[in-house]
Structure 1
């Protein structure tokens, strides 16, 4: 497991595994009882599809779909489609 500080992910570009830019990571939702990372909170690009849960202008992507968090946060969108955001 690669360890990444949440602060480092903030303001990082988010893209799907096929390279489609989805937006910018702005926060993470954590279950405070278990410590489980629930969702990656993303400010979407204007071209982002509505396949993920939206609240206002913020998109929630199930954190289990995050595949990499280096220069970009990479999302497995096929897996994300099967998961439910809180």
Structure 2
């Protein structure tokens, strides 16, 4: 393909190497948030990809591995909108 890179979306968090020049904070991306999202989406598709670490929540990779399903933003939209309303 002429040197073009293919972009893929990871089901597991990217390696915990945040860009130190840009302050950031994961929003609703903790083990507790993930477990809650999975409980509300019983028909979620399985995770794919390679597990990695999450510096902001060491329990997240374990939760992802244990539950093994993908969650989409749409499944937690009410929670996200409620956060924005505060």
Give the alignment's TM-score, normalised by structure 1.
0.28
Considering fraction of residues, name the structure with more helix. 2
Higher RCO (CA < 8 A, seq sep 6+): 2
Between structure 1 and structure 2, the one with the greater Rg is 2
Considering fraction of residues, name the structure with more strand. 1
